[in-house]
Amino acid sequence: MWQQTLITLRARPRGFHLVTDELLAGLPELRECRVGLLHLWLQHTSASLTINENADPAVRRDFERFFNRLIPQGTDGYEHNDEGLDDLPAHFKASVLGCQISLPVSAGRLALGTWQGVYLGEHRDHGGARKVLDTLHGEGA
pLDDT tens digits along 61-73: 999 999 999 999 8
Q: Using CA atoms in the order 59, 64, 65, 70, what is the torsion angle rounded to 10 degrees?
A: 120
Residues near 40 by beta carbon (within 8 Å), at least 6 away in sequence: 23, 49, 100, 101, 102, 103, 118, 132, 133, 134
pLDDT at position 84 is: 87
pLDDT at position 80 is: 87
pLDDT at position 75 is: 73
Q: Which pTM was predicted?
A: 0.94
- Cβ-contact 16, 63 below 8 angstroms: yes
Angle at 133 between CA 128 and CA 139, to 5 degrees: 150
pLDDT at position 85 is: 87
pLDDT at position 79 is: 86
Q: Could you give phi then psi for residue 54, rounded to 5 degrees?
A: -110, 0
- Cβ-contact 85, 73 below 8 angstroms: yes
Residues of the chain with pLDDT under 50: none
Side-chain-facing half-sphere of 136: CA atoms under 13 Å? 25
What distance in Å separates the CA atoms of residue 98 and residue 74, rounded to the nearest whole number?
22
